[in-house]
């Protein structure tokens, strides 16, 4: 009798264990790392809330990492087997990440009908060694952003720019805050004739006089007290927002916050042409993309891709466009009659596509050092560009294990 | 000889078997989290370990190539100069510790005056720099050193009556021409670290001062010793034994003061304020050169070992008298 009772109780207990188990979707947790801030972050949070309405079983943890640390943080953690499920960053990381096997190819997740809605150039840029290694969300390049109430007429070339800046600077208001980061000012290096790589992706930055011309030009700007020339994004950004600078070089991601601060006084136009050669400003044109971590299992990958598909859908890209001025990769997004986007699209016509090979990673810091040492008077433009050439090539050799 | 002592050791272990069983778990943990990483790093220092080896740890053995690259400044990284960094590190350490000790003792003596009102309030205020997490202070100082909008330049402007535009963190040139290797950023880092560092020395000195019996000063007064004589003949010799270990500690701390350098000047501009530990960090991140970084770490270890042995010898601080 006792034994029967025990058996009945056991069955009852085991049954209660299964009682809660209706056929329900497994809970999934996705982590995304990005460097969005301001309006971009607002849109991301909105998008996550909306996604959760459709998929209550998915928890999305987003982590904001400062842009200058994001690549290294991901690289270190993913190489050790960890890292987030999804990463958001520029296409020039593709080469490094693919080489170290840190990101998963995405070809099998997107069919041709889905891809038909996206800008072809953007999809081309994320292809590396024949595989689609990321999914583009937006396209970007830097251009001249100006405060219409402070700038009477747009300069045609750099000589006009200097005259204009000298005439509109008054007291606390500077004519231009010029970001001397290599990404921002690269357009003048290419306009001056500098090339980064030869056909085998060896460095050739000191061939010809392009680098020297561009560095000499930057030095001239820095010695003019009406320009603030500094490699300090935050400071440049806040000066423009506060109306203390009439012009700035920046990309579409910043315009959302500028229009919030200055309203319709914000204008965008191509940067003036480089007077020494007459060539137009040729900035890097790059896509910003979603990457999927190579370390995660197939279920996680599917969940991650599903979220990415949602993030690049027409509705969400429309929001990113309207609130944060991202130039959408989705052709269905309505961007007509937006003068700000028109300015960037105009600038893109003279831009150069950002190389996505791993060798590109060796370029940034040595070129920045060349710029900084010339601006500080520590090196002549010729010496600085020669040093940069050597460091870039050393880094490329180390990368290739030579 | 060696055989004999080995036998003796083994005998000892056998005799106190139970005690060794007790420490075995922690010994295993120590071996895993301390000894293994150190040995792994020594191995890495002789290979070309880089970012792609993190998952596939089969780098090539390169012998002493990493060390040679470091000593001949051939590391593929911008602004890398081992000898400049090392010399700067030494100057940085001694400039800081000298100021910490001088300011710390002066304040401790001043606050030790017998009939000073509100003594506790002053002491609390002066210890605040020490109580705030150093990275927060460092970030605040970094912003205060901004050339256009920083508090330091604004205060200087209002004192001088004209706009002071000292390029604290951006100009790699030297403001004092007879010290050509010390850029503006060195002084910014120095001010920050002195502000952060003197309270510790002050607290140690205060403790030592309070253990000096008042009678000695009274006796000196009767003998007609003036205030200066009292300080140099009584106070300093009597707090020496308490200060020396603190100074040694201060030297090692400052030599490795990562927070202030990395957060205030970031080693820049153009690497002029790089110290060894910030340089080691940069070799890994963004450099990705793990093999060279391990070799660099070993070099720093031997430098610190040398400094510790020398200071130990000079001060005999770790020698027990019992």
Burial class (CB within 10 angstroms; exposed 0-12, middle 13-18, buried 19+) of B175: middle
* Per-residue H/E/C for A208-226: CCHHHHHHHHHHHHHHCCC
The residue whose two tokens read 């005259």 is A163
CA distance A391 to chain B (A): 6
- Looking at residue A314, its pLDDT comes to 92
> Looking at residues B118-127, what average pLDDT do you find?
86
Q: Do B76 and A391 touch (CB under 8 A)?
A: yes
Q: Is the pLDDT of residue B211 over 80?
A: yes
> What phi and psi, each to the nearest 5 degrees, are found at residue A203?
-70, 140
The verdict on B302 touching A (C-beta cutoff 8 Å) is no
**Phi-psi map region of B226: left, alpha, beta (phi>0 left; psi -120 to 50 alpha):** beta
Both structure tokens of B18: 């139970």
Please tell me the distance from the alpha carbon of residue A187 to that of residue A338, in angstroms, as a whole number: 24
- Looking at residue B8, its pLDDT comes to 79
Residue numbers in A near B148 (CB within 8 A): 228, 235
CB-closest option in B60, B79, B173 to A369:
B79
Cβ(B126)–Cβ(B197) under 8 Å?
Answer: no
Determine the distance from the C-alpha atom of residue B52 to the mean position of all C-alpha atoms in its chain, rounded to a whole number: 33
- Looking at residue A17, its pLDDT comes to 53
**Phi-psi map region of A210: left, alpha, beta (phi>0 left; psi -120 to 50 alpha):** alpha
Q: How many helices and strands (H and E) does chain A possess?
A: 16, 14
Q: Is the pLDDT of residue B4 over 60?
A: no
Q: How many CB atoms lie within 10 A of CB A278?
A: 9
DSSP, res B150: -
Q: Do B51 and A79 touch (CB under 8 A)?
A: yes
Please tell me the distance from the alpha carbon of residue A123 to that of residue A277, in angstroms, as a whole number: 33
- Looking at residue B89, its pLDDT comes to 94
Both structure tokens of A293: 């971590």
> In terms of C-beta distances under 8 Å and separation of at least 24 residues, what long-range contacts does B51-58 make, across chains too?
B51/A75, B51/A76, B51/A79, B51/A100, B51/B288, B51/B290, B52/A79, B52/A99, B52/A100, B52/A101, B53/B290, B54/A76, B54/A79, B54/A80, B54/A100, B54/B290, B55/A79, B55/A80, B55/A81, B55/A100, B55/A101
Q: Is the pLDDT of residue A23 over 60?
A: no
Question: What is the DSSP pairing of strand A28-34 with strand A58-64?
Answer: parallel
> Looking at residues A327-331, what average pLDDT do you find?
89
- Looking at residue A18, its pLDDT comes to 52
Q: Name the nearest CA neighbour of A270 among A192, A175, A193, A161.
A: A161
B-interface mutation test, from A228, A378, A393, most B Cβ less than 10 A away: A378
The residues, any chain, with a CB within 8 Å of residue A243's CB and separated by 6 or more, are: A147, A150, A173, A262
Please tell me the distance from the alpha carbon of residue A151 to that of residue B156, in angstroms, as a whole number: 33
Cβ(A362)–Cβ(A203) under 8 Å?
Answer: yes
Question: How do residues A378-396 score in pLDDT, each as one tens digit?
Answer: 899 999 999 999 999 998 8
| β-strand partners of A59 | A29
- Looking at residue A256, its pLDDT comes to 84
Both structure tokens of A277: 């050669």
Residue A56, SS3 per DSSP: coil
Least confident window among B4-8, B86-90, B256-260, B303-307:
B4-8
Least confident window among A128-137, A153-162, B61-70, B244-253:
B244-253
Chain B nearest-CA residue for A100: B52
Q: Is the pLDDT of residue B2 over 70?
A: no
Q: Do A72 and B171 touch (CB under 8 A)?
A: no
Interface size, chain A vs chain B, as Cβ–Cβ contacts under 8 Å: 66
CB-closest option in B54, B55, B170 to A230:
B170
| Average pLDDT of chain B to the nearest whole number | 87
Q: Do B270 and A376 touch (CB under 8 A)?
A: yes
Q: What percentage of chain A reaches a pLDDT higher than 70?
A: 93
Q: What percentage of chain A reaches a pLDDT higher than 90?
A: 58
CA distance A207 to chain B (A): 20
Q: Report DSSP letters for B85-131, one per residue.
A: HHHHHHHHHHHHHHHHHHHHHHHHHHHT-TT-TTHHHHHHHHHHHHH
Chain A nearest-CA residue for B73: A391
Please tell me the distance from the alpha carbon of residue B87 to that of residue B181, in angstroms, as a whole number: 10
Is the pLDDT higher at B82 or at A119? B82
Residue numbers in B near A383 (CB within 8 A): none
Is the pLDDT higher at B64 or at B120? B64
Please tell me the distance from the alpha carbon of residue A367 to that of residue B216, in angstroms, as a whole number: 66
Percent of chain B as helix, strand, coil, to the nearest 5: 70, 0, 30
The residue whose two tokens read 């600077």 is A169
- Looking at residue A7, its pLDDT comes to 66
Confidence of residue B322 (pLDDT cuts 50, 70, 90): very low
- Looking at residue B175, its pLDDT comes to 87
Helix (H) or strand (E) holding A47: helix A38-54
Burial class (CB within 10 angstroms; exposed 0-12, middle 13-18, buried 19+) of A117: middle
Confidence of residue A41 (pLDDT cuts 50, 70, 90): very high
The verdict on A228 touching B (C-beta cutoff 8 Å) is yes
- Looking at residue A51, its pLDDT comes to 94
Least confident window among A131-145, B184-198, B300-314:
B300-314
- Looking at residue B1, its pLDDT comes to 46
- Looking at residue B30, its pLDDT comes to 92
Check: complex ipTM more than 0.85: no
Q: How many helices and strands (H and E) does chain B possess?
A: 15, 0
> Looking at residues B124-152, what average pLDDT do you find?
88
The residues, any chain, with a CB within 8 Å of residue A161's CB and separated by 6 or more, are: A155, A176, A272
Chain B nearest-CA residue for A372: B270
Residue numbers in A near B55 (CB within 8 A): 79-81, 100-101
Cβ(A36)–Cβ(A257) under 8 Å?
Answer: no
Question: How do residues A219-241 score in pLDDT, each as one tens digit?
Answer: 999 998 888 888 888 888 988 99
Please tell me the distance from the alpha carbon of residue B127 to that of residue A16, in angstroms, as a whole number: 61
Question: How do residues B161-179 score in pLDDT, each as one tens digit?
Answer: 888 888 888 888 888 888 8
Please tell me the distance from the alpha carbon of residue A185 to that of residue A293, in angstroms, as a whole number: 32
Residue A61, SS3 per DSSP: strand
Q: Is the pLDDT of residue A313 over 90?
A: yes
Cβ(A385)–Cβ(A192) under 8 Å?
Answer: no
The verdict on A230 touching B (C-beta cutoff 8 Å) is yes
Chain A nearest-CA residue for B77: A391
Residue A83, SS3 per DSSP: coil
- Looking at residue A10, its pLDDT comes to 62
Residue numbers in A near B172 (CB within 8 A): 372-373, 376, 378
Confidence of residue A401 (pLDDT cuts 50, 70, 90): confident
Is the pLDDT higher at B290 or at A20? B290
Chain A nearest-CA residue for B171: A376
Please tell me the distance from the alpha carbon of residue B75 to that of residue B68, in angstroms, as a whole number: 9
- Looking at residue B16, its pLDDT comes to 86
Q: Is the pLDDT of residue B25 over 90?
A: yes
CB-closest option in A81, A235, A376 to B269:
A376
Please tell me the distance from the alpha carbon of residue A382 to that of residue A215, in angstroms, as a whole number: 9
> Looking at residues A63-80, what average pLDDT do you find?
90
A-interface mutation test, from B47, B48, B51, most A Cβ less than 10 A away: B51
Q: Do B52 and A100 touch (CB under 8 A)?
A: yes
- Looking at residue A369, its pLDDT comes to 92
Query: How big is the CA angle at A220 (ends A219 and A221), to the nearest 5 degrees?
Result: 90
> Looking at residues B29-46, what average pLDDT do you find?
94
Please tell me the distance from the alpha carbon of residue A88 to that of residue A107, in angstroms, as a whole number: 18
The verdict on A77 touching B (C-beta cutoff 8 Å) is no
Q: Is the pLDDT of residue B318 over 60?
A: no
Q: Do B172 and A401 touch (CB under 8 A)?
A: no
The residue whose two tokens read 């256009």 is B148
Question: How do residues A239-272 score in pLDDT, each as one tens digit?
Answer: 899 999 999 999 988 888 898 899 889 999 999 9
DSSP, res B32: I
- Looking at residue B99, its pLDDT comes to 96
The residues, any chain, with a CB within 8 Å of residue A285's CB and separated by 6 or more, are: A139, A140, A141, A348, A351, A352, A353, A354
- For residue B213, what are the CA distances in angstroms to A370, B1, B125, B239, B250? 62, 52, 27, 12, 27
Highest mean pLDDT: which range of A75-84, A136-145, A318-327: A136-145
The verdict on A81 touching B (C-beta cutoff 8 Å) is yes
Please tell me the distance from the alpha carbon of residue A183 to that of residue A286, in angstroms, as a whole number: 11
Residue numbers in A near B272 (CB within 8 A): none
B-interface mutation test, from A95, A241, A369, most B Cβ less than 10 A away: A369
Please tell me the distance from the alpha carbon of residue A180 to that of residue A233, in angstroms, as a whole number: 9
Cβ(B138)–Cβ(B260) under 8 Å?
Answer: yes
Q: How many CB atoms lie within 10 A of CB B231?
A: 14
Q: Do B149 and A235 touch (CB under 8 A)?
A: yes
| Average pLDDT of chain A to the nearest whole number | 89
Q: Is the pLDDT of residue A13 over 70?
A: no
Confidence of residue A277 (pLDDT cuts 50, 70, 90): very high
Please tell me the distance from the alpha carbon of residue B254 to that of residue B97, in angstroms, as a whole number: 7
Residue numbers in B near A235 (CB within 8 A): 146, 148-149
The verdict on B319 touching A (C-beta cutoff 8 Å) is no
Q: What percentage of chain B reaches a pLDDT higher than 90?
A: 44
């Amino acid at each position: 009798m006792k034994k029967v009772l025990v058996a009945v109780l056991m069955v009852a207990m085991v049954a209660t264990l299964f009682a809660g188990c209706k056929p329900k979707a497994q809970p999934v947790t996705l982590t995304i790392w990005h460097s969005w801030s301001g309006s971009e972050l607002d849109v991301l949070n909105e998008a996550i809330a909306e996604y959760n309405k459709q998929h209550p079983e998915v928890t999305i943890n987003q982590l904001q990492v400062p842009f200058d640390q994001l690549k290294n943080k991901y690289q270190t953690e993913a190489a050790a087997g960890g890292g987030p499920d999804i990463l958001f960053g520029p296409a020039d990381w593709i080469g490094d990440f693919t080489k170290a096997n840190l990101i998963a190819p995405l070809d099998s997740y997107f069919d041709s009908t889905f891809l038909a809605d996206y800008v072809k150039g953007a999809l081309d840029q994320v292809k590396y060694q024949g595989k689609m290694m990321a999914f583009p969300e937006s396209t970007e390049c830097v251009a001249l952003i100006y405060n219409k109430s402070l700038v009477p007429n747009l300069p045609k070339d750099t000589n006009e720019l200097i005259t204009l800046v000298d005439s509109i600077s008054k007291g606390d208001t500077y004519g231009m805050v010029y970001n001397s980061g290599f990404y921002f000012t690269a357009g003048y290096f290419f306009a001056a004739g500098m090339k980064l790589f030869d056909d085998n992706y060896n460095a050739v930055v000191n061939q010809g006089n392009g680098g020297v011309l561009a560095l000499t030009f930057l030095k001239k700007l820095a010695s003019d007290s009406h320009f603030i020339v500094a490699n300090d994004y935050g400071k440049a950004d806040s000066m423009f927002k506060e109306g203390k600078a009439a012009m700035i070089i920046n990309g579409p991601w910043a315009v959302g916050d500028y229009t919030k601060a200055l309203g319709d006084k914000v204008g965008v136009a191509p940067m003036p042409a480089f007077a020494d050669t007459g060539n137009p400003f040729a900035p890097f044109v790059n896509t910003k993309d979603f990457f999927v971590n190579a370390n995660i299992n197939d279920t996680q990958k599917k969940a991650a891709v599903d979220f990415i598909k949602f993030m690049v859908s027409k509705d969400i890209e429309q929001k990113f466009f309207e609130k944060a001025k991202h130039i959408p990769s989705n052709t269905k997004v309505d961007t007509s009659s937006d003068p700000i986007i028109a300015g960037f699209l105009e600038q893109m016509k003279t831009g150069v596509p950002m190389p996505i090979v791993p060798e590109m990673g060796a370029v940034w810091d040595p070129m920045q050092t060349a710029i900084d040492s010339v601006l500080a008077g520590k090196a002549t433009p010729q010496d600085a560009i020669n040093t940069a050439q050597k460091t870039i090539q050393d880094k490329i050799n180390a990368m290739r294990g030579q | 000889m060696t055989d004999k002592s080995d036998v003796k050791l083994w005998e000892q272990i056998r005799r106190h078997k139970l005690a060794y069983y007790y420490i075995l778990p922690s010994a295993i943990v120590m071996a895993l989290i301390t000894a293994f990483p150190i040995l792994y790093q020594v191995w890495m220092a002789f290979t070309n370990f880089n970012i792609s080896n993190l998952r596939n740890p089969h780098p090539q053995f390169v012998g002493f190539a990493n060390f040679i690259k470091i000593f001949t400044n051939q590391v593929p990284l911008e602004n890398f100069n081992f000898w400049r960094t090392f010399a700067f590190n030494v100057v940085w350490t001694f400039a800081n510790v000298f100021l910490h000790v001088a300011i710390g003792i002066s304040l401790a003596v001043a606050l030790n005056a017998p009939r000073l009102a509100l003594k506790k309030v002053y002491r609390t205020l002066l210890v605040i720099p020490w109580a705030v997490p150093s990275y927060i202070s460092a970030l605040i100082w970094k912003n205060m050193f901004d050339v256009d909008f920083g508090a330091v330049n604004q205060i200087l402007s209002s004192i001088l009556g004209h706009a002071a535009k000292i390029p604290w963190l951006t100009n790699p040139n030297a403001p004092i021409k007879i010290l050509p290797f010390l850029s503006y950023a060195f002084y910014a880092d120095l001010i920050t670290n002195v502000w952060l560092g003197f309270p510790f020395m002050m607290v140690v000195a205060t403790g030592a001062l309070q253990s000096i019996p008042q009678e000695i000063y009274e006796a000196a007064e009767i003998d007609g010793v003036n205030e200066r004589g009292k300080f140099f003949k009584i106070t300093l010799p009597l707090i020496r034994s308490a200060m020396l270990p603190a100074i040694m500690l201060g030297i090692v701390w400052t030599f490795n003061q990562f927070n202030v350098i990395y957060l205030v000047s970031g080693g820049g501009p153009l690497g002029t304020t790089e110290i060894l530990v910030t340089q080691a960090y940069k070799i890994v991140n963004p450099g990705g050169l793990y093999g060279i970084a391990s070799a660099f770490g070993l070099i720093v270890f031997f430098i610190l070992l040398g400094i510790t042995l020398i200071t130990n010898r000079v001060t005999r601080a770790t020698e027990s008298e019992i």
